[in-house]
Structure 1
């Protein structure tokens, strides 16, 4: 006998949000902690959804709850529903002087050094009671937005696909950072001289690849690094007194070059920095204010 269809009336928004949270965290226990409820409440909700959709939704693999294909399909539609609900309940006016909301910004080292101090100062000046949380974007910061872990994403992450919005605030390029005593300090670098240097390569983690590398590889060159590091943190100490050279965004190089020299790179890899958000927060008065502050603060 064919199974009965799911009864839409038996599914509420809270249940769909619990489903999303278990999927995001990979754990009933972690979802219960985030929601501030007992694990049994989460288990009951998932059991109800399993019965309704005639699918296990999650199976345990490697200590985590892994979503079934059917669950992934349900979640894709559920997130659209939850986003639409979020948009409907957003207030039309944001009272920034009295708001005690928390805003979360996803970004990486560059933005934390050069942009976040100015952004936070302006946010707190305009809305003195809000709290600001800054989290790592890594190479897939847009996932932080989709998982509702961040309100905005700041950095070289402009998105063009459906469901995302982005606005550019300036264009950056790469330059070479080295010790003043380096034989090539202050000299013009062509591709041959550049590739002959002892490079510190910053891989930033994940699948991210810097724009200058795309440009270098498009010209059929290969960079062979002497040292690979995961972040620009501590780069000035690594380069000072050494024969190493790092290719870094120019503004970052200027900010950390007290003991170093910055030279033009033959592979400049120009890239845009943007503020990115999702359709879920597009109409929110608070989020519009947040984005405007970031854009006004960061634009040249």
Structure 2
């Protein structure tokens, strides 16, 4: 193939290469970049000539990156993020800001952090809009692809090139209907394991800490029901003998038709905020990070919820079953 001068390639072409690599298709990259597919095809053809490599080859009905393409993209990510940091203005006025902030998180963070964050944004930065992506087990990939600016959750990876800030810590409690026979006594491990459980499966893409801790001990719960989200558990548990194991802050948000009991496997965990160098130097994103951290700092500690759990137990014991 005829050679194109590599120094004639601009940053936009390099960004196109990364987008094709991440999306796995020319059409997907075109949609992300909001350009025609023919523009993407032309750009990749110029890059092939400049870099002297096919970059992508046909594989079944899709495309696959060459080994050299993978190496090139790995080097480009840091370079493009550094350039974006250089090109980003430092001054930031929330009241005058306009843009999109994207978050990857799950039900817990949407319950505990997101409502107050939206109130802050509407009051102080009404020109900012928010897109929320379901994280489950793919939040890290969403963050690295640039689909989201921030990832909030119980992070289980520690990849290089990421920034992390601790937001909250929590632990698990048991939730059940007031009429459940287990509601009138303290749960030991044996009665907990043999009870009928409603387990949040998160679509099979995430496993809660308490389940991982039990598995380490070779223990499997008597799972009677699996649900993809904890959103409707309060209603589901009513009038049944099922119990569910949930983070204490999530359990505390349920109505008084259910009772909360200490869990024999509390399995403490942390909620972190994670971002990449792409947004590290952005004044807008720095301001949003600061607000998220401030909101998390104002959330009552899980120990305060334990005191409420004990009070709730006393009330529940006085209710005729």
Q: TM-score range by the shorter chain?
A: over 0.9
Q: Is the 8 A contact 2:3 2:49 kept in 1?
A: no
Q: Is the 8 A contact 1:199 1:246 kept in 2?
A: yes
In the alignment of these two chains, the number of paired residues is 298
Match of 1:15 in 2: 13
Q: Aligned-pair RMSD on alpha carbons?
A: 2.0
Correspondence list, 1:92-131, <5 A: 92-131=90-129
Q: Deviations over 1:208-244 (max 9, x none)?
A: 2211112212233222411112111211121111111
1:34, distance to aligned residue in structure 2 (A): 2.7
Q: Is the 8 A contact 1:141 1:153 kept in 2?
A: yes
Q: 1:49 to 1:226 in 2, by over 3 A?
A: same
Match of 2:199 in 1: 201
Larger mean Cα displacement after TM superposition, 60-69 or 202-211:
60-69
Match of 2:42 in 1: 44
Match of 1:147 in 2: 145
Q: Is the 8 A contact 1:59 1:65 kept in 2?
A: yes
1:248, distance to aligned residue in structure 2 (A): 0.8
1:64, distance to aligned residue in structure 2 (A): 3.0
1:285, distance to aligned residue in structure 2 (A): 1.2
Q: Deviations over 1:46-103 (max 9, x none)?
A: 1112222333222333533332222211110111110110111121111211111111
1:198, distance to aligned residue in structure 2 (A): 0.7
Richer in helix (by share): 2
1:4, distance to aligned residue in structure 2 (A): 9.8
What CA distance in whole angstroms lies between the structure 2 residues aligned with 1:237 and 1:96? 40
TM-score by length of 2: 0.87
> Which ranges of structure 2 fall in alignment gaps of 5 or more residues?
300-321
TM-score by length of 1: 0.93
Q: Is the 8 A contact 2:144 2:276 kept in 1?
A: yes
Q: Is the 8 A contact 2:6 2:51 kept in 1?
A: no
What CA distance in whole angstroms lies between the structure 2 residues aligned with 1:4 and 1:34? 29
Moved segments of 4+, more than 4 Å: 3-7
1:258, distance to aligned residue in structure 2 (A): 2.9
> Which ranges of structure 1 fall in alignment gaps of 5 or more residues?
none
What CA distance in whole angstroms lies between the structure 2 residues aligned with 1:171 and 1:33? 38
